[in-house]
Chains A and B, each alone.
Chain A
Amino acid sequence: MAQFPRYFTIWQKLGLTGVKLTAWLVLLFLMAPILVIIPLSFNAEPYFTFTEGMLAFDPDAYSLKWYQEILAEDKWMLAIKNSFYIGIMATIIATVLGTTAAIGLTRSEMPFQRMIMALLLSPMIVPLIITAAGMFFFYTQLDIAGSYLGVILAHAALGTPFVVITVNAALSGFDYSLVRASLGMGAKPVYTFFKVIMPLIRPGVISGALFAFVTSFDEVIVVLFLAGPEQRTIPRQMFSGLREEINPTILAVATLLVIISGLLLLTMEYLRARSEKMRTG
């Protein structure tokens, strides 16, 4: 426990302790579902609850069999493949579109900056179910509903705002005289983009890309509307698994998702710290 300043009254001490306790409880409340899932995924029995053996830390009560189950089942393997394929393709599209949009929007001669920005960010604000329904009708017209292309384009649209935001933030500290310096030294605009602008905003681009990837990786509503059986992703498979199956394979998948998300989060934090360091020289 941290020491209280000596001038604290007993009530201030109690108050501060209460605030800290509440903060820890809120954190626990937020983390509990995740924390429960991880040990349960190692359950040796096909139950969703802690067995007596598990509570007694009996090694035999734990097993990796639900993880083996994932590898053995075609529908899970397909879902994993789909999630990565759709996620990566959508991320590439979102990153290219979001980065170029952010660069264009930060140029002083760009008219209607705020309005275009608001439009670009709207997929983040509009309820997802509405976006999904709209996409369903629109993509059906274009005959790309129920195809990989449809899901990829939809996820790219959902991921682009994140890239716009992170690249925009990276550009806010960008010194445009560097671009002028580069042009003045004889470098053409495209060369300048790859040698000067891109290296300096790369942390922003990468963290935007990671956000876009996670968005696609987590997404289930648009997939429910747009994906056919061939395009089932992990969350979609879990969604049906919840009703169709009654074994903890789903918890093993969830644990894998938590680990992947955690790694992505750590990467983002690392990039953020690095870009901060780069900015302060």
Chain B
Amino acid sequence: MSTHDIDDQYVRFINVKKSYDQQSLVVKDFSLDIRKGEFVTLLGPSGSGKTTCLMMLAGFEDVTSGTIQINGKSVQDVAPYHRNIGMVFQHYALFPHMTIAENLAYPLKVRKLPASEVKQKVKDALALVELDAFGGRYPGQLSGGQKQRVALARSLIFEPSIVLMDEPLGALDKNLREHMQYEIKRLHEQLGFTAIYVTHDQTEALTMSDRIAVFNDGVVQQCASPSALYETPANSFVADFIGENNHINGKVESNNGEIAEISLSRGDRVRALDINCPPVGEPCVLAVRPENLFIATAGREYDNVISAEFITRLYVGDSIRYFFKMSDGAELMVKVLNDQDAPIIEPGAPTRLTWATERGLALDKPAGKNPVKAA
């Protein structure tokens, strides 16, 4: 294997399965290759097995079956304290009985670095997260954002090549979270470690990651760059989970492998890109993002038109959201920039909505909530 391949597969999850109770699988057949220096996010609803994957990589949980490799070597026989992986915990996990400086020095003292070097590195680490004056304080005397920065600095100070972050910003308020997202990205670019980040916040995932693995039900639904996830979601779960999406139920009438023709409940025929379209004759879902759905101007002809009844509009600030209801009860949302053109519609008025064919996605119907049995 060339070094190039090894760098492309620096961290590998190969068919990893995990069961806590020997009955049901929490992680089902998880495979993921992570490039050296890459920033990969595991994104998924809570309970989907993200933390479990990190814990298996860090060595705090056993792997039920499958393999995890780092740099071409299986890690399962390596004790957690020999794996050399940095970790940021959701609730910081700072040692409350040690000062900030002692917390930062901990991994260095464990490695028996000379005192002068420890001192210098602690100083540098404090500077890195802009907490120079806080070395002598205890974690209980810091704010949430400051604690988070200490936790980050502590995970980096022993220069691990891999850093795991489990919802590190979950407990922070919005402004602080955005600031910390920026800090983490800055440190990642500056230091070049391989980052595996866990969040259930899709905006966070979209803004920070090189690649996002969307998790649901212990399975990776799609792993791709943020723009690919947003623009061409692989299935209806991803389409729904990433960003907002309108879902319109229909039936596949024809499909030329690129464009699918779909008939809607009232007999309207519309066209959309075939992304994950079921076979002809099967029910399907048509997904159109609110910013790609437009209110049709009277008298003009469009490719795809559906009619719906206006319900209400919601003033958001930079945009206005218009809510519509289709005759089959499905609700639709249209996002319009807040400028002079934002139309005013009477409640209850029948309205025509339209989209460009390449902006509509023909997708599978989401599976019902059938619990999947362990293999």
- Asked if A and B bind, the verdict is yes
Question: Footprint of B on A, CB under 8 Å?
Answer: 175, 177-178, 180-189, 191, 195-196, 199-200, 278, 281
6 nearest A-B pairs in the assembled complex, by CB-CB distance: A281-B140, A185-B107, A181-B93, A177-B93, A184-B87, A183-B80
B106 touches A187 (CB 8 A): yes
CA distance A182 to B80 in the complex (A): 10
* 17 more A-B residue pairs beyond the given contacts A184-B60, A188-B81, with a C-beta to C-beta distance below 8 A: A175-B93, A177-B91, A178-B93, A180-B80, A181-B89, A182-B95, A182-B106, A184-B59, A184-B87, A185-B106, A185-B154, A185-B158, A186-B110, A189-B81, A199-B97, A200-B97, A278-B97
B97 touches A185 (CB 8 A): no
Which residues, 177 to 231 on B, are CB-close (under 8 Å) to A? none
Asked if B111 CB lies within 8 Å of chain A CBs, one says yes
Asked if B343 CB lies within 8 Å of chain A CBs, one says no
CA distance A267 to B312 in the complex (A): 67
Asked if B348 CB lies within 8 Å of chain A CBs, one says no
Min CB gap A175→B, angstroms: 7
User: Residues 62-102 of chain B: 1 if any A CB is under 8 Å from the residue's CB, otherwise 0?
Assistant: 00000000000000000011111111010101011100000
Q: Which residues of A contact B87 (CB under 8 A)?
A: 180-181, 184
CA distance A187 to B84 in the complex (A): 10
Question: Footprint of A on B, CB under 8 Å?
Answer: 58-60, 80-87, 89, 91, 93, 95-97, 106-107, 110-111, 139-140, 154, 158
Shortest Cβ distance from B55 into A: residue: A180
A186 touches B96 (CB 8 A): no
Min CB gap B60→A, angstroms: 5
A185 and B110 contact, Cβ closer than 8 Å, known pairs A175-B93, A177-B93, A180-B87: yes
CA distance A183 to B85 in the complex (A): 10
Q: Which residues of B contact A195 (CB under 8 A)?
A: 106
CA distance A191 to B87 in the complex (A): 19
A184 touches B81 (CB 8 A): yes
Min CB gap A200→B, angstroms: 6
* Dominant secondary structure at the A interface: helix
A180 and B140 contact, Cβ closer than 8 Å, known pairs A186-B81, A186-B110, A187-B110: no
Min CB gap A20→B, angstroms: 39
Partner of B96, one of A187, A189, A191, A200: A200
A186 and B82 contact, Cβ closer than 8 Å, known pairs A180-B89, A281-B139, A281-B140: yes
Q: Which residues of B contact A184 (CB under 8 A)?
A: 58-60, 80-81, 83, 85-87
CA distance A189 to B85 in the complex (A): 16
A186 touches B84 (CB 8 A): yes
Would you give 29 A-B contacts (Cβ < 8 Å), ordered by A? A175-B93, A177-B91, A180-B60, A180-B80, A180-B89, A181-B89, A181-B95, A182-B106, A183-B59, A184-B60, A184-B83, A184-B85, A185-B81, A185-B106, A185-B154, A185-B158, A186-B107, A186-B110, A186-B111, A186-B158, A187-B81, A187-B106, A187-B110, A191-B110, A195-B106, A199-B97, A200-B96, A278-B97, A281-B139
CA distance A209 to B93 in the complex (A): 28
Partner of A183, one of B81, B86, B97, B111: B81
Q: Which residues of B contact A196 (CB under 8 A)?
A: 95
Min CB gap B137→A, angstroms: 12
Shortest Cβ distance from A178 into B: residue: B93
A278 touches B96 (CB 8 A): yes
Q: Which residues of B contact A278 (CB under 8 A)?
A: 96-97
CA distance A178 to B83 in the complex (A): 17
Q: Which residues of B contact A189 (CB under 8 A)?
A: 81
A281 and B93 contact, Cβ closer than 8 Å, known pairs A184-B85, A185-B154, A191-B110: no
B81 touches A281 (CB 8 A): no
